[in-house]
Structures are given as C-alpha cells and as structure tokens.
Amino acid sequence: MNTNECFLVTGGLGCIGAETTKWLLNNTNAKVVVCGRDVSLQRVERVFHDVETTNLKVVSIDITNQPLLSNTIEEEGISHVIHLAALQTPDCNQHRDLGMQINLGGTQKLIEAMKCHLSQIKRFVFASSIAVYGPRAFYPDGRIPTDAAPHPVNVYGTWKLAGENITRIFSEETGIDSISLRPGVLFGPGRDAGLTSTPTTALKSVALGIPYEIPFQNSQDYLYAPDVGAAFGQATTEPFSGYAAFTLPSHTVETSCFVSAITEAAEQLGIASQCNISVGKQTVPFICDLTYEAFHKVFPQVPHTQLNIAVQSSLRTFQEQVKNGWLRTEMIH
C-alpha cells in the first residue's frame, strides 16, 4: 500500500473499527484517519495501546454531518473509506428515528460526501450484518448461501440491507469498487454492546471472577474480532472490482459449546475456579449456518482462528485489562 494513500474508518473506536484500524496500521504504511462520536485521549490510548500510532489520526465527527465528512475527505486526502459507524440493535429498537438517521441517513451522507471527491476514492467498504437475513427457521436445513433471500429480523437489519443497496447503487453510478460485509456474532476484544455481546461479557466475567448467565441458548455464527478486522482490512486493500456482498468466516456452534470453550480456556490459564458461566433459555433471531466460501475465494489470506484459540486469547486479553484497571466489575451489565 502506497504511503500517499489514506484510509478513513468511521466508527473506528468500536469493536470492528478498532481491530480494522490496528490491522491497517500493522499491515500498511498508509495514514489512517479514525472518526467517532466519543473521542477522548484516554479512550484512544486504551484502544490503540498495543500498536504503533505514528500514522494514526483520530477526529470527532458525527456521521450525519455531511459537510464535515466532505471536508475531512478532501483535507486528509482520503483514498479508501471503511464505514462502520452505526447504532446497535438495542439502541435502534429503542430510538428508531435516531437509528434511521445514523444507520441509514449517515450512510447516505457519507456517500454524498464521497461523491464530492470521486477522483480520490478508490474503495468503499460498508459494514452490513447477518441481520439482513431472516430467522434461521425461514431457511432449509444445511449450509445457507450468501445470496439467500434477505428478510431482515428487525429495523437494524432493515437499515443495513438498505445500506447495502445504496452502496451498490453508489458503485454502479460512480464505478468505484465497493463491498458490503455481513459479520455475525462478534466476540473478543472491544465487544461491549449489541444484542449478541453477552458471550464476550461472559469472558470478561471469568476474568473478573464473577458469575454470569448468557441469556440465549441457540446456535450462532461466532467470529473473532481480530479476524473480522483483518477481513475488513483486506477487503479494502486487496484487488477487487465491481460490487459484492459477503458473509465472513465463522464458527457455527450452540451457546453451550461456546461456554465449554470458555471453561477449557479458564483451565488452561489456571483460573478454572473463576469460571461460573451458565446459559439461559432465550433465543436470538439471527441466522446461522451461513457459508463464507465466496469471501474466502476472493480474499484467501484472511485469518479464521480456531474457536478454542480465539476464546483463550480473548480471555487472556481481558485478564490484562483487569490487571490494568481497565475492566472492573461495575462495567458488567
């Protein structure tokens, strides 16, 4: 990647955004501009404490502020845009008008800002979600292809599907290569919000030595956060032309299997006595059993860490956060 190229990562202090930014800093020589709503020096230092930040710039931008987005693209010489800024499912359900303004309206504002500087932009990657699909029961047994019919499970998924469509239209109208990526249930460093954040909260609880119940029991497609960051990074930097939507490499397991992986990790790290995780009887509506071969065919170097290794690595990270005072019992909810 040439040093005269510059990446804009919206929502870059969130879970995927942080891991994507770290991947870009570690694997390119380009400048990375991260924007977010809640930008503080303390938060930036904690999120990026383990990477070289010489090429990093963090700015406070509301994703609905089109003039500021446009000015940033021009002034920073942005060449690649990764759009992750969004409200999660619970906030979208509770504040639907605000969710629509940010998740859908913000995406359109960003697209309009990019249109003002088309000669600069080389790639646009939009963060969609498996929420664009219907519940698992809507689909036949077996693995489900990426191009299975969408049937969003909630307003969050509805706006993500609309975001995919306006991304496709943007690509068709401008000729700028664009990709929509549909992550499933993320776990690991940085995950702290959303309907399916509870498996990560369970890992944090073990690190803290407190009991915790994951409320849902059904199978989900689990993705390790650093793997997803690498997926977004490579989708932005590797050769690609046109437009496509992809699901990402995942591990399809029931909650009980994920808890077993946590238990094994706790034993290997010598903290088995701190592990007290149970599983509730609720279910979440998101699909599982999605195929991801189409993505791996185009981006074959993206990592797909084994579940037990990813869980152990996550637990070790949360142990370090407890030691540093960054993770405390009162943060668990």
Residue 90 is predicted with a pLDDT of 83
Order of all β-strands in the sheet with 123-127: 56-60, 31-36, 6-10, 80-83, 123-127, 177-182, 243-247
Instruction: State which H helix or E strand residue 30 sits in.
Output: none
Q: In 10 A of CB 60, how many CB atoms?
A: 11
CA dihedral sign, ordered 70, 76, 79, 82:
negative
SS3 221: strand
State how far the Cα of 284 lies from the Cα of 150, in Å rounded to an integer.
Answer: 17
Cβ pair 196, 220 in contact under 8 A: yes
CB-based contacts of 224, cutoff 8 Å, min separation 6: 186, 187, 188, 305, 307, 310, 313, 314
* Domains along the sequence of the chain with CATH: 6-184+225-249+285-305 (3.40.50.720)
Residue 47 is predicted with a pLDDT of 87
Residue 331 is predicted with a pLDDT of 79
Residue 286 is predicted with a pLDDT of 85
pTM summary value: 0.94
Measured CA angle at 65 (ends 235, 176), to 5 deg: 30
Residue 40 is predicted with a pLDDT of 82
Burial class (CB in 10 A: 0-12, 13-18, 19+), 16: buried
State how far the Cα of 326 lies from the Cα of 174, in Å rounded to an integer.
Answer: 44
Distances (CA, A) of 312 to 37, 126, 184, 234, 257: 31, 30, 20, 25, 14
Residues of the chain with pLDDT below 70 are: 1-3, 193-194, 333
State how far the Cα of 247 lies from the Cα of 181, in Å rounded to an integer.
Answer: 6
Residue 179 is predicted with a pLDDT of 98
Of 289, 296, 42, the closest CA to residue 184 belongs to 289
State how far the Cα of 317 lies from the Cα of 15, in Å rounded to an integer.
Answer: 14
